Structure 1
Amino acid sequence: MSKRRYLTAAIASATSALVMAGSATAAPTDVSVMAIKQVASGLKQAWAVDFLPDGKAIFTQKDAKTVSTLDKSGKVTKVLDVPGVSITKEAGLLGIAVSPKFAADQTVFIYFTTGSDNRIAKFKLGTTTITPIVTGIPRGADFHHGGRIKFGPDGFLYAGTGDGQNGANAQNKNSLGGKILRVTDSGAAAPGNPFNSRVYSYGHRNVQGLAWVNGQLYNSEIGASKVDELNKIEAGKNYGWPTCEGSCGTAGMTNPVKTWPTSDNTPSGLAFYKGSLFMASLKGGTYKLNTSGSGGKVYTNLGRTRDEVAGPDGQLWVVTPGGIYNADGS
């Protein structure tokens, strides 16, 4: 049953500034008291959410290998079991994106891990036929799978991938690992991509969030041992991994707009909502930020947050491993 409650963000304790390669900044002071409502509970590693034209949410559960819908009453209905999904600590059924032409094509896109790769596939809602459109995205034994997919304002599908626990993939333009990909709904390279391939940007370690602010793409990214990143993404740019973790002075590599110590953040999904970026954090809570990365944490009482999405109901939807919430986000 849905239950309205008010969560008061705890005030972060003072932290010493960290000085290290990557120019990490101290943990931010937590901000705001925000109303939040639970709309689904008892989930098995919920990972990503999107919305159908009728306002229903549609979401993935990483470990359950299922796609389900969620209506306004909180009813969860399974619509698809995804066969062939390989589950490890970070692998499984990951991202989801509803076609911007859903009214005509009834199509939903998913990102998942198999025993040999990560891949993007599509299916028509109400059917069980799953058609892969991008295969061969490197997978690691347990980690660095990426998994976020979203349609951009240009109508193309963007996918954040991980390096598959092999940093060299990120700098190899012929590899789909450690990249942001930009493809058509058939999986082909989108017209105008910088390398005449599916690759849009490279030098990424483990892309977790994608969001657009007035047409400008930003991503959230998990670092190794020094810093996590918020990046302003431009076509063809090299974001440094594994040569750079965080900011560096290496020619040809683009620095992040903001970094945080990996002990504080571990970012996941990213959304632009009511003038702010909301970035999920696997270390707990959600970061409410401007485009320079300034801000602090909200929803700290929810623990780990996995995804943030601006819903068609005017609410911010927050995904945790065990539940889905919506909030006013003011």
Structure 2
Amino acid sequence: MNRRRYLATLGAAAAVAGCAGRPRSDGTAQTGAATTADGDDGTGDSAPDVAVETLATDLEVPWGAAYREGNLYLTERSGRIVRLADGEVEPVVADVPVKAVGEGGLLGLAFHPDEPYAYTHQTYDPADGGTANRLVRHDLTDDWAADPLIEGVPGAHIHDGGRLLVHDDALYMTCGDAASEERGQNPNVLAGSVLRVTLDGDPHPDNPLDSPMFSYGHRNPQGLVVRDGAVYSTEHGPRVGDEINVLTAGGNYGWPEVTGPSDDDRFTDPVTSYSPTIAPASAAVYDGPIEAWQGDFFFGTLAGEHLHRVRFDGGGTDPGVAAEERLFSGEFGRIRTVFTGPDGHLHAVTSNRDGRGSPAAPDDRVLRFVPA
């Protein structure tokens, strides 16, 4: 097998065959099962052998995911935080007070790099009514006691963003337009933006707009990752124009004036876009033991129901897409959060119980992709 597998040309999709990700005919869960996949992307080079391990089953719309001290922590959108330890799912916080309606609820999760704190993105009921989003810090030494750092970000039953990222002593938070398009072009409203704050929740001193806002003109960004020192995001378009963006301070990414690239110098073009939409819901950069995947960019798709792999031919803030492919198409249903673990292995969580999928007996699941 050629371990340096080349990707298919842009726009080509390779459905990896042979991975029994959906339930068996008897409907029983495949807890602890590992399946292998070996496919052909159309280039004539054989695919790397990849085993797909199931780490957990029967979760309820897992959303945020992060490792701490070797244990995997997950948020469930309904309002629960769990820990996966020694193959068992243990509740950590049983009932976080969130508004789990539509796409909202308990969303992103990140840990402080040095102190015993966790951060979550929550949709909630504000005292004055309606729906809002907030950033909450939890004290791990005090039974995950909650301290809201930012409150009152406009929320709705759709387009709440939700992703968190800690990078370079700062915390990034994605905020959707909360179902009101005009918010995307209003730098005075935190919806439709990506925020950057200190680890104490204050506006970052290097922000361009003297507020928590880092960039704006976003519809519903749900992926954040650092690649070559730059922050990359994935974003949901309406029916066209899903995007991969490199985020820059003060950048205006066009929504709702444009989706995808444009000739308008006011707006920052995406690295690439997808039409019709596939609903990219996360972002990760691979640095694990599968040699053929080294340095590649991955995200899960909801509408597309596949794991998406991208190879860039540039770095930092000026990448170009060399090629990309679709992996495990239809095998696991809706894939939301894709992330890497402490050993570099790629992980994914399914989102088949979110009201838009067709859950199988094991759903929702945590998957891990390892060399076969």
With the length of structure 1 as denominator, give the TM-score of the two structures. Answer: 0.87
Larger CA Rg, structure 1 vs 2: 2
Structure 1 stretches of 4+ moved >6 Å: none
**Match in the other structure for 1:327:** 369
Structure 2 counterpart of 1:158, from 151, 172, 179:
172
Alpha-carbon shift at residue 238 of structure 1 (Å): 0.5
1:9 to 1:176, Cα distance in 2 relative to 1, 3 A:
farther
**Match in the other structure for 1:266:** 279
**Match in the other structure for 1:174:** 188
Whether contact under 8 Å (1:87, 1:113) holds in the other structure is yes
1:211 aligns with 2:225: yes
SS in 1 for 2:281: strand
1:49 to 1:329, Cα distance in 2 relative to 1, 3 A:
farther
1:328 to 1:43, Cα distance in 2 relative to 1, 3 A:
same
Distance in 2 between the 1:75 and 1:246 partners?
43
Alpha-carbon shift at residue 314 of structure 1 (Å): 2.2
1:148-195 per-position Cα deviation (integer Å, ceiling 9, x unaligned):
00101x121001110011111111111111111001122110121111
Alpha-carbon shift at residue 124 of structure 1 (Å): 1.7
Matches within 5 A, 1:15-164: 33-52=49-68, 54-63=69-78, 65-71=79-85, 73-101=86-114, 105-115=115-125, 116-125=131-140, 127-140=143-156, 142-152=157-167, 154-164=168-178
1:295 aligns with 2:324: yes
Alpha-carbon shift at residue 290 of structure 1 (Å): 2.1
1:214-272 per-position Cα deviation (integer Å, ceiling 9, x unaligned):
10111000001222111111111100001001111123101111111134x11001011
Structure 1 counterpart of 2:242, from 212, 220, 228:
228
1:267-321 per-position Cα deviation (integer Å, ceiling 9, x unaligned):
0010111201111100211111123343111233122111111111221111112
* Number of equivalenced pairs: 304
Distance in 1 between the 2:218 and 2:65 partners?
23
**Match in the other structure for 2:306:** 285
1:74-101 per-position Cα deviation (integer Å, ceiling 9, x unaligned):
2111111344311122111100001111
Alpha-carbon shift at residue 128 of structure 1 (Å): 4.3
Distance in 1 between the 2:99 and 2:163 partners?
17
SS in 2 for 1:328: strand
For 2:328, the aligned partner's letter is Y
1:305 aligns with 2:335: yes
1:135 to 1:295, Cα distance in 2 relative to 1, 3 A:
same
Distance in 1 between the 2:276 and 2:55 partners?
30
Percent identity over the alignment?
Answer: 30
SS in 1 for 2:244: strand
For 2:107, the aligned partner's letter is L
Whether contact under 8 Å (1:48, 1:96) holds in the other structure is yes
Whether contact under 8 Å (1:316, 1:329) holds in the other structure is no
1:241 to 1:34, Cα distance in 2 relative to 1, 3 A:
same
Whether contact under 8 Å (1:55, 1:313) holds in the other structure is no
SS in 2 for 1:267: coil
The unaligned stretches of length 5 or more in structure 1 are 13-30
The unaligned stretches of length 5 or more in structure 2 are 1-30, 126-130, 288-294, 313-319, 352-363
**Match in the other structure for 2:12:** none
Distance in 2 between the 1:262 and 1:233 partners?
23
Distance in 2 between the 1:32 and 1:205 partners?
36
